[in-house]
Amino acid sequence: MAASFGAEGEPINKTALLLELQSRVRDLEGVYLTIVLETTSDWTHVSFNGMSILEMGTYAILDGESSIYPIGSYPPPFPNGITCTGIQLLKKARFDETYLRILFPMRVKVTNATISMLISKGNVGYTTVTVKDRNENTVGVYTDAKANGDYYSWPNQVGEHLNLMEFKIAGSELSN
């Protein structure tokens, strides 16, 4: 393989050049937003479609920290935290309606004309998802307070009933 040389005849460090270009592209692409999740349900899952998370900021639990397992600590298949596909939270006790509010700042790449989020939750309480742009402007507020009284729902239970609500945001509504 032949060596590459720059304009001054110096060898080019291709790895360093690639890393620099990737860094510059990363600075140009992506939309900054914050997901504010508020819930009194004993479990909540928010699935993302139409966007991929490029970078996560530091989450902040503003209320109800003692009611949930620490982020990332509950064993699979339902670990508390955020993944590239969504946010999942499980409280320590069934039927726990303690108010929980967490901020999840992130930089995302919008991959479709619209971003959709699907909220699923237990049969108690409500879940509200607020999406804010980089300037803290509210892009949307979505609440799911549905409950099915037939039986109690707990994540990954056989015969689980999900209380579902989907909402969409036009990618153009999010500012860089």
8 Å CB contact between 138 and 50: no
Tell how many helices (H) and how many strands (E) occur in the chain. Answer: 1, 11
- Among 28-37, 80-89, 102-111, 157-166, which is the least confidently predicted range? 157-166
pLDDT of residue 79 exceeding 90, the answer is no
- Comparing 64 with 27, which gets the higher pLDDT? 64
Q: For position 156, what pLDDT does the model report?
A: 46
Q: Is the pLDDT of residue 5 over 70?
A: no
Whether the per-residue pLDDT at 24 is higher than 60: the answer is no
Confidence grade of residue 148 (pLDDT, cut at 50, 70, 90): very low
Q: In the chain, where do the E strands start and end?
A: 31-39, 43-49, 51-56, 60-63, 81-83, 86-90, 100-110, 114-121, 127-133, 138-144, 163-170
Tell me how far CA of residue 84 lies from CA of 49, 50, 64, 68, in angstroms. 10, 11, 24, 21
pLDDT in the model for residue 38: 94
Please write the tens of the pLDDT for every residue from 37-73.
999 998 888 888 888 888 888 889 999 989 887 777 6
